[in-house]
Structure 1
Amino acid sequence: MDVAVGIVAQRDNERAQDLAAALVNALEAAGASAVVDEATGAAIAATPVPVDSMDDRDLVVSIGGDGTLLFVAREVSPVPIMGVNLGEVGFLNAVAPENAVDVVTDVVADIARTGRVEGRELARLRATGVDEDWTLAPALNEIVVHGRRRGHGGGATIEIRVDGQSYAESHADGVLVATPTGSTAYNLSEGGPLVHPATDAVIVTQMAAAESMPPLVVEPDTEISLTVTDADTAYAISDGRNRQRLEPPATVTVTPAADPVTLVGPQANFFDGLDKLE
């Protein structure tokens, strides 16, 4: 079969652009078709397309840090994604730059031969308004609900209910609901637990709560509802980027998203990555 590949390079990163050019040349030499994101296409000799139009590709390669891969996942999922790591930690990006051409071309050859893409599925979360009709883009790392701003005078009272049962209610900067993938990100900085990425679970962590409960780990199909009061404005945010303004009192439900992200290629060593955390 003819294999179509999309390549997204970290913006304004010359090293990422050079690697994208090398991948385009190697893929086209191997008989695959390759396109790049528009910003990269302005810097190298390759066909540029909007990232969100790569959703018809067989594989999308993300070159950069975990933030680049999170962006790619929002735009192209459920297309399988491979991450090439130019960052420091790289929990999601397991392919080293020096190995990228060989790894990508080997995977593309497997797809051409078998017609299948083998990978690991990563669960995502979906935030939905109860009082208003809105749904945020699925989150690979976390959903956060917080008040007008972080810090003194900017929080809100947030009640956490788990499958309809009250778990905690306190004035807090916010509440964070994370996947195992996101346990090493914002969740960890707020005192939440590390959860191995192969675990099926959802993590609920209060952020600077006046009357705090321990972080809670629940089954992945659990419905978490967060009711915000005692604030003039609040926000629900998916993976730090997509946000919905709330007018308290307001309730947000967090549930599993229908489509996971499929991560292709070598998998990052979770414990090696922990050594790089500050």
Structure 2
Amino acid sequence: MRVGLVAQRDNDRALALANTLTRRLDAVGASVVVDPTTGEAATDGGDWDGAVPSSVDVDEMAACDLVVSVGGDGTFLYAARGAGSTPIMGVNLGEVGFLNSLAPEEAVETVVAEAEHIQKTGSARTRAMPRLRAGGDGWALPPALNEVVVQGDHRGSGGGGHFRVSVDGATYSEGHADGVLVATPTGSTAYNLSEGGPLVHPDVAGLVVTGMADDDGMPPLVVDADSDVVVELTDAEAGVAVSDGRVREERATPLRVTLSRAGEPVRLAGPPLDFFTALDKLA
């Protein structure tokens, strides 16, 4: 039984909780590995109680039986990219935490109980969270849990470009915009919301298409989860596709990006998120 721990960078509270989790997991016979940033903080901080676990790159945590993220949604997204199909649990130290369902005070007992369940049964109790794939001619982005943005080389005055958005082969919108954002229901509460897109309950099967500062006022659109969305960009010096705000692919124009639901979802372990309680924190 192997557990990967990823603690939020420069967060003493996250590091202390990772330390407690390591001790408790070790006591039930589970080995722990941490990402290099957590390992370096544990080694240099001086407050780590016991031996510091081995460090592995986050991409290697797909070989673990369980991955635990301690921090905010950004930390969860980082850990989820490496976890692949491995079950992941999120401990919420942030203000909103739509991806992290565990409160700090219940995290240790819940994580340990799930580790013991995996040891006993060979599998975790999980629910699927869809991801979004995006790519073009000869390239592809890592699957996104929240959103993929397609935009010109910069936003604002003199930026953007001419965008054409098609859904399953039919044109939905065409005109000048800063960019186009395609989100999962999970990601509807993130960048999508700040761009005027709709909130979508995580149990709804769909994709959200939202224009970014588009001149013609394209209404946000929710399409079937199995739809293929194509975003074409012209009249710009270059185009950029960004997965979950972290991984960027810069391309010459004309740029054509195809977006659809990824075949491999995130497998989220732990108690279900109270979506409407989390919404209260947006106010």
Which category describes the TM-score, using the shorter chain as reference length?
over 0.9
**Alignment match of 2:60 (pick from 45, 53, 56):** 53
The aligned counterpart of 1:182 is 187
User: Of 207, 212, 221, which aligns to 1:216?
Assistant: 221
Spell out the pairing of 1:89-238 with structure 2 (5 A cutoff).
89-129=96-136, 132-238=137-243
The list of structure 1 runs, each at least 4 consecutive aligned residues, that deviate by more than 3 angstroms after superposition, is none
- Give yes or no for the alignment of 1:256 onto 2:261: yes
Q: Distance in 2 between matches of 1:80 and 1:11?
A: 22
CA-CA distance at 1:188 after TM superposition:
0.5
Give the CA deviation at 1:47.
2.1
Distance 1:96 1:205 in 2: 32
Following superposition, the deviation at residue 52 of structure 1 comes to 1.4
- Find the aligned partners of 2:57 and 2:220 in 1 and give their Cα distance: 39
1:33 aligns to 2:13 (yes or no): no
Matched, 1:276 2:281: yes
- Deviation, 1:168, is 0.2
Output the amino acid matched with 1:157.
H
Confirm or deny: 8 A CA contact 1:28 1:34 kept in the other structure. Answer: yes
> 1:74 Cα deviation (Å)?
1.1
Alignment RMSD? 0.9
The SS at the match of 2:256 is strand
- Matched residue type, 2:32: A
Q: What are the superposed Cα offsets for residues 20-44 of structure 1, whole Å, 9 maximum, x if unpaired?
A: 1100100010111111112222214
Cα deviation, residue 192, structure 1: 0.5
Q: CA deviation at 1:46?
A: 2.2
Q: CA deviation at 1:213?
A: 2.1
Q: 2:5 aligns with which of 3, 7, 17?
A: 7
- Residue 82 (structure 1) aligned to one of 80, 89, 102: 89
CA distance in 1, matches of 2:81, 2:34: 16
Once residues 110 and 125 of structure 2 are traced to their aligned partners in structure 1, the CA distance between those partners, rounded to angstroms, is 13
Any idea what SS the aligned residue of 1:194 has?
coil
Structure 2 unaligned residues grouped into runs of 5+: 43-47
Q: Tell me how far apart the structure 1 counterparts of residues 218 and 37 of structure 2 sit (CA, whole Å).
A: 45
Confirm or deny: 8 A CA contact 1:125 1:142 kept in the other structure: yes
The code of the aligned residue for 2:80 comes to A
Is the contact made by 1:179 and 1:202 (CA closer than 8 Å) also made in structure 2?
yes
| Mapped partners of 1:199, 1:149: distance in 2 | 33
- Aligned residue identity for 2:59: D
Q: Secondary structure at the match of 1:117?
A: coil
Percent identical pairs in the alignment equals 55
In 2: Cα distance, 1:213 partner to 1:49 partner = 45
- Give the whole-Å Cα distance in 2 for the aligned partners of 1:145 and 1:218: 18
Give, in angstroms, the shift of residue 17 of structure 1.
Answer: 0.7
Task: State which drifts further: 78-87 or 29-38.
Answer: 29-38
Shift of 1:231: 0.6
CA deviations over 1:62-106 (Å, ceiling 9, x no partner): 000011000111122111100000100011101111111100011
The alignment partner of 1:245 has SS state of strand
Shift of 1:108: 0.8
CA distance in 2, matches of 1:212, 1:195: 20
Task: Give distance in 2, aligned partners of 1:102 and 1:125.
Answer: 32
For 2:265, give the aligned amino acid: P
TM-aligned CA deviation for residue 143 of structure 1: 0.7
CA contact (8 A) 1:6 1:35 kept: yes
Select which of 67, 72, 85 maps to 1:65: 72
Q: CA deviation at 1:230?
A: 0.8
